[in-house]
Amino acid sequence: PKLAVFASGTGTNLAALIQATQTGEVPAEIVRVVVDRRHTGAQQLAETAGIPVLRINYKDYATRELAEDAMLTVLASDGVVGILLAGYMRILTPKLVNAFHQRIINIHPALLPSFPGNSAIADAWQAGVKVTGVTIHYVDDGVDSGEIIAQEAVKLTATDDLAQLTTKIHAVEHTLYPATVAMLIKKGVFVK
C-alpha cells in the first residue's frame, strides 16, 4: 500500500518507518511526507530519501478544513490509502479523519488514556509513575483519543532521569511503530 507520513519535528519515527520500508519489514511505500512548518528534520529526511514533501502552511488557509482539502487533493493523486502521524502537531478535523476512516494511525509516547497531549513523557515523569510506555492508536478528531491498537510498557529504574526516560521511550517507538504498521498491513487495514 501507498502511505503518507505526517510529521512536524525531528522525524526520528519517520526515519524508522522509512528504514522499515527499505528492509521490507514494512511492505509499503511511503509516497508522501506532509509537514506543517519549514526547516524540519522530517522534511530533510524525506528529501534525502527521495520522498516528495508537501508543506502545508495553515496560515495560507482560512480554515483547517481548507488546508485539509489541499492535502486531500495531493494524497488522492498520490494514491495514498493510509496516513501515519509521526509527531504531527496539528489536530485533524472530521474532514480528513472521515476521508481516511480508521486508516490514520498515531504514535503517542505514553500509555493512553494516561498522559494525552504534547508533553506526555515529562507529564508521566512528573507524576512519578513507575511504568509508562508507548501507544499506537487510530486517529479520531479528538486529542490522542482514538481506539488503541498496540502498547508497549517502559519501566523506570530508580536512577532514570527525564532524559534517560525519553531515550528509552523513543527506542521503543522506533521498533513498535514499524512492527504495528506491518501488522496492520497484514490485516488489510490500508485499502481504499
Q: Looking at the annotation, which residues are catalytic?
A: 108
Q: Residue 61 class from Cβ within 10 Å (0-12 exposed, 13-18 middle, 19+ buried)?
A: middle
Binding status of residue 111 toward ligand GRF by CB under 6 A? no
Q: List the alpha helices (DSSP H) in the chain.
A: 12-23, 41-49, 64-78, 94-99, 120-127, 162-187
174-192: b (≥16 Cβ within 10 Å) or e: bebbbbbbbebbeeebbee
Does the annotation list 89 as a binding residue? yes
Examine residue 108 and tell whether it contacts ligand GRF (CB under 6 A): yes
Per CB under 6 A, the list member of 33, 71, 92, 107 interacting with ligand GRF is 107
Which residue in the set 13, 21, 43, 180 belongs to the binding site for ligand GRF (CB under 6 A)? 13
Instruction: Tell me the residue number closest to ligand GRF, measured at CB.
Output: 87
Query: Would you say 12 is a known binding-site residue?
Result: yes
34 binds ligand GRF (CB under 6 A): no
Give yes or no for residue 81 binding ligand GRF (CB under 6 A): no
Would you say 90 is a known binding-site residue? yes
Is the CB of residue 35 less than 8 Å from the CB of residue 55?
yes
Question: Applying CB under 6 A, which residues contact ligand GRF?
Answer: 7, 9-14, 86-87, 107-109, 173
